[in-house]
Structure 1
Amino acid sequence: MASPLPAIRPLEAIPVERDGGVRYLLRDPQRYSDHEAWLTPQALYLAAQLDGRRTAAEVAAALGERFGIAVAEEEVEAAVAQLDAVLFLDSPRFRDHKARLEAAFAAAPVRPAANTAAYEADPERLPAFLDAWFTAEGGPGGPPGPASGPAPAGLVAPHIDLHRGGPAYAHAYRALAEAEPPETFVVLGTAHAGLRHPFACLAKGYDTPLGPVALDRELAAALEAACPWAFEEAAAHRTEHSVELQVVWLRHLFGDRARLLPVLVDGLHDHLASGAPPESDRRREAFLAALGEAVARLGRRVTYVAAVDLSHVGTHFGDPEPLDAARLAAVERVDRELLAALLTGDAAAFFERWRAGGDATRVCGAAPLYCLRRLTAELPGRLLCYRQCHTPEADLMVSCAAALFPRPEGA
Structure 2
Amino acid sequence: MEHNYYYMMGLKPQVAPFTVQPLGDKFYVKNAYGLGEGLLVNGSVLLLMHLMDGSRDLLDIKADFLRRTGKLLSEEELRDVLWALDRALLLQNGRLQQILQQIETEIRDRGYLEPSHAGVVYPEDADSCRNFLVGADIKPKERALGVMVPHMDLRVAKETYWQAYGRLEGSYHLVIIMGVSHYFHRHPISFLPVGIKTPFGILEVEDSLLKRIVQRFGDWVFEDTVAYVEEHSIEFQALYVKMLWPKAKVIPMIVAHASTEFMEEVADFMEVILRPYKDDLVVISSVDMSHVGRKFGDPSSYDPSLTDMKYLELMRKLYYPEAYRFLWETDNITRIDGQYTNYLFGALLKRLGSAEGRLLDYRKYVEELTDSVVSYASLVFPVS
> Do both share a fold (TM > 0.5)?
yes
Compute the displacement of 1:45 (Å). Answer: 1.1
Aligned to 1:266: 256
Aligned counterparts, 1:105-120, within 5 A: 105-116=107-118, 117-120=120-123
Aligned counterparts, 1:10-409, within 5 A: 10-17=17-24, 22-31=25-34, 33-116=35-118, 117-131=120-134, 134=135, 142-145=136-139, 149=142, 151-176=143-168, 179-228=169-218, 229-254=220-245, 256-267=246-257, 278-279=260-261, 281=262, 284-297=263-276, 301-319=280-298, 321-323=299-301, 327-328=302-303, 331-377=304-350, 379-408=355-384
CA distance in structure 2 between the partners assigned to 1:240 and 1:62 by the alignment? 37
CA distance in structure 1 between the partners assigned to 2:161 and 2:381 by the alignment? 15
Compute the displacement of 1:404 (Å). Answer: 0.3
Q: What SS is found at the alignment partner of 1:215? A: coil
Distance of aligned partners of 1:299 and 1:340 in 2 relative to their CA distance in 1, 3 Å threshold? closer
Compute the displacement of 1:297 (Å). Answer: 4.5
Compute the displacement of 1:64 (Å). Answer: 2.3
Moved more, 193-202 or 165-174: 193-202
Aligned to 1:139: none
CA distance in structure 1 between the partners assigned to 2:342 and 2:110 by the alignment? 30
Q: Deviations over 1:307-331 (max 9, x none)?
A: 0011111111111x122xxx21xx1
Instruction: Report sequence identity in percent.
Output: 24
Compute the displacement of 1:345 (Å). Answer: 4.2
| 1:8 counterpart = 2:19 | no
CA distance in structure 2 between the partners assigned to 1:197 and 1:97 by the alignment? 20
CA distance in structure 2 between the partners assigned to 1:115 and 1:298 by the alignment? 31
Q: How many residue pairs were aligned?
A: 372
Q: Deviations over 1:109-141 (max 9, x none)?
A: 11111222332334442111112xx2xxxxxxx
CA distance in structure 2 between the partners assigned to 1:221 and 1:5 by the alignment? 40
Distance of aligned partners of 1:204 and 1:222 in 2 relative to their CA distance in 1, 3 Å threshold? same
Which runs of no fewer than 5 residues in structure 2 stay unpaired? 1-6
Q: Is the 8 A contact 1:158 1:400 kept in 2?
A: yes
Structure 2 counterpart of 1:355, one-letter code? W
Compute the displacement of 1:166 (Å). Answer: 1.7
Q: Is the 8 A contact 2:178 2:255 kept in 1?
A: yes
Structure 1 counterpart of 2:159, one-letter code? P
CA distance in structure 2 between the partners assigned to 1:11 and 1:232 by the alignment? 19
CA distance in structure 2 between the partners assigned to 1:244 and 1:94 by the alignment? 25
CA distance in structure 2 between the partners assigned to 1:65 and 1:90 by the alignment? 25
Q: What SS is found at the alignment partner of 2:195? A: coil
Q: TM-score, normalised by structure 1?
A: 0.85
CA distance in structure 2 between the partners assigned to 1:122 and 1:396 by the alignment? 33
Moved more, 351-360 or 243-252: 351-360
Q: Is the 8 A contact 1:341 1:353 kept in 2?
A: no
Q: Is the 8 A contact 1:198 1:266 kept in 2?
A: yes
Q: Deviations over 1:34-81 (max 9, x none)?
A: 312110111111112110121222222222232222211331122111
Compute the displacement of 1:194 (Å). Answer: 4.5
CA distance in structure 1 between the partners assigned to 2:31 and 2:153 by the alignment? 18
CA distance in structure 2 between the partners assigned to 1:227 and 1:401 by the alignment? 32
CA distance in structure 1 between the partners assigned to 2:124 and 2:277 by the alignment? 36
Structure 2 counterpart of 1:7, one-letter code? Q
Q: Is the 8 A contact 1:186 1:304 kept in 2?
A: yes
CA distance in structure 2 between the partners assigned to 1:129 and 1:182 by the alignment? 22
Give the CA RMSD over aligned residues: 2.0
CA distance in structure 1 between the partners assigned to 2:186 and 2:121 by the alignment? 27
Q: What SS is found at the alignment partner of 2:360? A: strand
Q: What SS is found at the alignment partner of 1:340? A: helix
Moved more, 374-383 or 111-120: 111-120
Q: Deviations over 1:221-266 (max 9, x none)?
A: 2222222242333333222221111011112222x22221111111
Compute the displacement of 1:395 (Å). Answer: 2.1
Compute the displacement of 1:298 (Å). Answer: 5.9
CA distance in structure 2 between the partners assigned to 1:290 and 1:339 by the alignment? 26
